[in-house]
Every structure is written in C-alpha cells, then in structure tokens.
Structure 1
Amino acid sequence: MTTSRHAALCFLLAIAMPTQARTPDDMERPFDHYSWVTAHNAFTSNGLVPNQTQTIETQLAEGVRGLMLDLHYSQGRVRLCHRICNSEGSVAFADLLNDTILPFLDSAPDAIVSLHLEDETTSAQLALELEKAPGLSGRTFDPQQWSTPAWPTYRQLRDSGQRLLIFSLNEGNTGDFPTGGGVAHILPSIVYTVENYWSLGTTFLQHDYTCRSRWAEQSHWLGQRAIDGKPGWRPLFTMNQFHGVAFRPHAIIDNSFENLSSRYMHDCRPIARRKPNFVAVDFHDVGDTAKFAEWLTLSAPDEL
C-alpha cells in the first residue's frame, strides 16, 4: 500500500472507530493477533506528575486492558509507587487486585487484562503480598498448562478463566506464587514479550521515533519470532509511545492516530515485522489510542 493510500485509510478508519476500546467480536484468533490500549504508570492518577488522570477502575471501564505498574516495598507492604514510595496513600498491590482488578473481571466476563510489572521487591516480599489475594487462584495465565501450537485463542483464554496475564521485568520474581486460595503465575517479560525503548525523550520537545529494543541483549530483538520452549508462540509486542516526563497537553499529539500509525508503519513494523499487542501511552483518554488499537486488531496485517 502506498503512503498516501495508507494515510487516507487511517483517516477514514479513525473517524469510524469507536472512542473506547472494546472486547473483540471475533474471539477465534490466537491472543497475539489482538491489540490493546495499555496505560503507562496506570496507578499515578493522583501523583505530583501523573501519567494518567483516571483511576484504574475508570481506565478498565473505558477499555484499557493493559496496565503498567511499578512495585516497591514500603510500610510493610508491596505498594504501587513511582520510583520511591513517599505517599501514605500509595495502594498495596494485593488491595488493587482484591478491590479493583478481580471485581472488574467478575463484572466483565469477556474481558482479558494484562499487568506489566516493574517490580523492585524481593521474592519473599512479593510472596507475602500475594498471599493476601486468594482470589488470584486459577485466574492467572500459565503457559505451561497449554499445549496449543500457538497462543490460545481469545475465546479459549476467556473460557479457561485464566483472564489475567501478569508479566514482570524482575525475572527473579516470576513463576508460581502461593496465595491464600491457591497459586498465581507471573511471566518473565523478557521471555514472553518484546518492546521498544520506553521513552520518546525526556520532555515533550524531544521525539525519538526509532524503534529499538528496550533490552540490550542482541538476541532479544523486536523481530524475535518464537518463545523458548514454546515453538509457534511469538513474544507479545509492546509499542511504547510516551515521554520521560508526562505532559497532558502534548498527549493529543503523541496519541494521535496519525502519529501512532506512522510510527508503527514506518519505524516499528519494519523491525518487528508485526503489529503491536500492547500500545502503551500516557493519558490514554487523550487522543486516538483506542481507535488505533481497534484499527490494529481489525484491519492491520499481522506479519510481513
């Protein structure tokens, strides 16, 4: 498709797509063929420099299906904090799960949610925290329980009840964790995902659209085609599109359909050779991220 035809198609689709992301009508494709709005630092709506201005409860209600969360140990609990915990109001991870994430999954039986953890805790600290969330038992995705030749379909995941995928950048804090009601499973991000470098630049005055891997390992590049031990399964691709310092007025530019689709088509797709599964942005409610994710799911070709 020529650049001009692609631009015209994107414009028409951006007008037609719904404002909020939604559960797909077609649930028969493997899970890695879908794309989701993902909220960077989803927990910072009340922070001094927020990355979102809605609570996680509202984000989920508006169709966000990926949540990026930072975990730190403070005041005897594992809490959601950005870099350090200096707020008495910081929410404990198990409380978020018990009070928001699991009730949402109960109220939206077709929804599948992914958590992307930047975890600075120890394994022992995290284990103690997860023991406080017995409702996680049987709800987290464990790939070792699946023998499918590719990712399970959306419908298979939904019907299995494993509708919460938890990825962690802290490889030491992955695997099975006991909860008060059973076992919860956490996936190592570096095995099950690929992602581009997280920042467009420190401030909104900088725009580095190059789509290089977040990780330095040469073997872990965006175009990686398979997961070790799971032939036929591709790592899920996170396309990060945000700045080091969040600035809400500029999100209308970063999150515009034109900028998102242009970066995907011209910078990320030639390297990743596929569409992103998680489109991670600041201020998800500003701009066209939901329309872009919907367009990716419905219209964008999946592989080069």
Structure 2
Amino acid sequence: MGLSLVIFPVFFCIITAAFGFPYEQHKLMGKCSSTRECSTGQICSSCPVELQGSRCVRSSTTNPFNLVNASMPFNKYAYLTTHNSFAIKKRPIQDAVPQVTFTNQEDTISQQLSNGVRALMLDTYDFKGDIWLCHSFKGKCQDFTAFEPAINALKEVEIFLSSNPSEIVTLILEDYVEAPNGLTNAFNASGLVKYRFPVSNMPKDGKDWPLVKDMVAKNHRLVVFGSQRQKEQSEGIAYQWNYMVENQYGKDGMVRGKCSKRADSSELNDRSKSLVLVNHFRTIPIHQASCKDNSQDLMNMLSTCYHASGNRWANFVAVDYYKRSDGGGTFQAVDMLNGKSLCGCDDVQACVSGSSSCTRGSK
C-alpha cells in the first residue's frame, strides 16, 4: 500500500507530461519556470533589476473597443506603440552581412500586433533600389544597419488588418525615402491602400477624430503619419507634426519629473494638435534595463506628461522591449490611460458597466 502511494504520483506526473495536461497556472507575479505555468496573457520572465527569480508578467493588452465600446473618437483611446518595431533580435542576416546596429524589440511585427500593439514606429530608407527598414544614421541605410525590405513588414500589417476587421493600426514613419512615390508604391504592393485613412478626413485645429466605430465601418483602419512635410500633398502621408505633439525621446526624455517636447514637435500643451505621443525608451536600448523602464518609471512619466500636455493623457506610448516589466508593465500603463480617458478610473477594467472597482483620479 505504501508503495502504491509513492508510485501513483510519479506515474501521474509522467502521464501529465506525456499528454500535455495543463500545468498549474500562476497569477500575475507568481513564481514560474516556464510560460506554460502562467495564465493566459502572461509570460514567465526574468527581470534581475527588479525581481528575484522568474515571475509571471503581463504580455498582452486589454482591448478597450471590445471591453467598453468603440463609440468614442480615435483620439480618446490609448495605443501601445513599439519603438523601431522592425529592429528585432534574431532577424535573418541579409546577404550574410553581419549586423552592427541596435535592436529594440524581440517579437516579429505579427506577434506584436497579436499581443495588442496598435502603433508601429518604422524607419524607412532608400536601399538597393527598394524601400527598406533600417536602424541607421545620417539618413543612409547600410548593409550592416539594414533589417528587411519595408514590404515584408507592411504585408504583416495587411494580414493582421484583413484577419481582424474591427482593429485599427497606426504607422509612424521616420522617413528618409527620396525616391518619387517610393512609399506609395510600397503601400500599393502590400495591399494596404484599401485601409488607408484619408488625410483629407484628418481633423485640424485639435478637433476630435471620427468615432472608432465609423472608421471601422468605412474600413479606414490604417492611420499613417510621416516625417516629411511635402508628402502630405504628394503622397497623402500625413505630416506627423500637423496632428501630434511628442515628448523628447532617449535619455533626455526619461528625466524624472520632467516631460519636455522633442525638437520637431510644437509645445506639448498645444491643443491645436489632438494626439499626444509619449516616448519612454533609452538612447541605447538595454534589454534587462527595460524591465525597470517599462514599470513604475513609465507610469510616473505618463503622469508627468499628462500635466505637461495640458492635462491630456497620452494616445501613444512608445517603448523598447514592450513585454519586459516587473508585473503589469506597458500593458497596465495602457489600461490606466484608457481607464482615465474613457471613464475617469485608474484601470479600463473598471469602466465596465456595473464595476465597483473604480478608483477615480485625474480625468
């Protein structure tokens, strides 16, 4: 009898492993040894700067359109944004040329979108007779700074939009393309043209954008901003600074208690621009340090930038290594922003009709 008591648990563990029966799922911040031990929407992550051992941390956002509604203007929601979305680790080596540049993300663009990222920062260049995504310098792409042809990333976005007919994606382009209609040709080839939100419909003088549900109904589900003023007229790519304010990026944009504008942007409290973008990433990306950057430090900066932006919460939150945190991370930050904007609560989950968990702060 005693032997049976010993054998049965061992046998059960073997069967569990062999047939893939579910492991015990740990709640947020629970200790773990693999992601399959964590709950849905979490990963098992190590963050030596902040945590002791590996813990279950969030890895996906809450969709406010599904949770609350899609009947507010586009500029009333917050969207998780990845900085240099294309600059991922383990990318294929192009033409066997070693890469000598920084990386900012771990996931493919498809994975980012699947996890709730809704805005992508892409750097576009003329390279090899085509349009490429590069993390380069002085406006020139090099073999050792090139990641992939832009068409590859754009096709990933097209696949996501075609598979998710109620979602909206924003592209923010740092654009060095000089080839006539270079970007237009890339959008045409990718099949994204049919989703483009027309520049002629973009609001001026700080007015509200159309309702999300109306953008979806018209299939205007790709919003594109670029850094070249003349392309608003020549290619219909909205000049970013006509519609958006943005804080300083890099180390100078991460000073505690300070939220200053980047050089290209008008003043953060300029209400003639209806969108607010908050950058929170280092000049030189550091994978492990992003755990701390994407946690309470990010929440503090969003609060600081709220006041600097004339009491407006950010619409776009741009980060490196978006899944790295000591708990809720960037996903909780976006939930906070949507909660503040949609119902005045500290978490969008509290905006659900009948919820009694609302903690009201600054609207």
Report the equivalent of 1:70. 123
C-alpha distance in structure 2 between counterparts of 1:38 and 1:134, whole Å: 21
State the alpha-carbon separation in 2 of the partners of residues 173 and 65 from structure 1: 23
1:40 partner amino acid: H
Unpaired runs of 5+ residues, structure 1, are: 1-16, 178-184, 228-233
Contact 1:73 1:125 in 2 (8 A): no
Match 1:156 to one of 207, 214, 226: 214
Question: 2-side partners of 1:168 and 1:215: how far apart?
Answer: 16
The CA distance in 1 between the partners of 2:247 and 2:109, in whole Å, is 24
How far apart, CA to CA, are the structure 2 residues paired with 1:147 and 1:44?
A: 32
Post-superposition shift, 1:280? 0.3
CA contact (8 A) 1:240 1:281 kept: yes
Relative to 1, partners in 2 of residues 1:20 and 1:134: Cα closer, same or farther, differing over 3 Å?
closer
Distance 1:127 1:66, change over 3 A: closer
1:163-182 alignment, distance < 5 Å: 163-175=221-233, 177=235
Mapping of residues 6-45 of structure 1, within 5 Å: 19-24=59-64, 25=66, 26-45=69-88
Q: Residue type of the partner of 1:263?
A: M
Measure the CA separation in 1 of the matches of 2:256 and 2:130.
37
Q: Would you say 1:196 and 2:247 are equivalent positions?
A: yes
Structure 1 residue 123: deviation in Å?
Answer: 5.1
Cα deviation digits, residues 231-253 of structure 1 (max 9, x gap): xxx2x111000011000100111
Give 5+ residue unaligned stretches, structure 2.
1-56, 90-98, 346-361
How far is 1:145 from its partner? 3.6
1:112–1:132: structure 2 CA closer, same or farther, 3 Å change rule?
closer
Quote the residue 2:149 is aligned against: 92
Asked which structure has the greater CA Rg, the reply is 2
Shift of 1:209: 5.2
Distance 2:187 2:319 in 1: 31
CA contact (8 A) 2:256 2:301 kept: no
Equivalent positions of 1:48-63 (< 5 A) are 48-63=101-116
Q: Could you tell me which residue of structure 1 aligns to residue 317 of structure 2?
A: 279
Q: Does the CA-based 8 Å contact 2:84-2:123 persist in structure 1? A: yes
Q: Deviations over 1:124-178 (max 9, x none)?
A: 152563365262233111142478962111111111101111111122333463x
The AA in structure 2 aligned to 1:43 is F
CA contact (8 A) 1:237 1:276 kept: yes
* CA gap 1:289/1:127 in 2 versus in 1, 3 angstroms: closer
2:305 corresponds to which of 238, 260, 268: 268
How far 1:200 moved relative to its partner? 2.5
| Residue type of the alignment partner of 1:108 | N
Per-residue deviation at 1:87? 4.4
* C-alpha distance in structure 1 between counterparts of 2:291 and 2:63, whole Å: 24
Q: 1:176 to 1:106 in 2, by over 3 A?
A: farther
Distance change in 2, residues 1:141/1:254 (3 Å): same
1:248 counterpart SS class: coil
**Structure-2 separation of matches of 1:41 and 1:89:** 12
The percentage of counterpart residues that share the same residue type is 27
Match among 73, 81, 86 for residue 134 of structure 2? 81
Paired AA for residue 57 in structure 1: S
**1:207-226 correspondence runs (5 A):** 207=255, 210-215=258-263, 220-226=266-272
Mapped partners of 1:61, 1:27: distance in 2: 19
**Number of the residue aligned with 1:140:** 196
- RCO higher in 1 or 2 (8 Å CA, sep ≥ 6)? 1
User: 2 CA distance for matches of 1:295 and 1:171?
Assistant: 33
Structure 1 residues 54 and 153 mapped into 2: Cα distance closer, same or farther (>3 Å)? same
Could you tell me the TM-score, scaled by structure 2's length? 0.67
Q: Is the CA contact (8 Å cut-off) linking 1:275 and 1:296 kept in structure 2?
A: yes
Q: 1:222 to 1:131 in 2, by over 3 A?
A: closer
1:165 partner letter: V
- Residue 49 of structure 1 deviates from its aligned partner by 2.5
Query: How many pairs does the alignment contain?
Result: 267
Q: CA RMSD in A?
A: 2.8
User: What is the match of residue 51 of structure 2?
Assistant: none
Q: Is the 8 A contact 1:94 1:129 kept in 2?
A: no
Distance 1:209 1:187, change over 3 A: farther
Q: 2 CA distance for matches of 1:131 and 1:69?
A: 13
Displacement after TM superposition at 1:298 (Å): 1.9
- Is 2:337 the partner of 1:296? yes
In 1, are the aligned partners of 2:232 and 2:238 still within 8 Å (CA)? yes
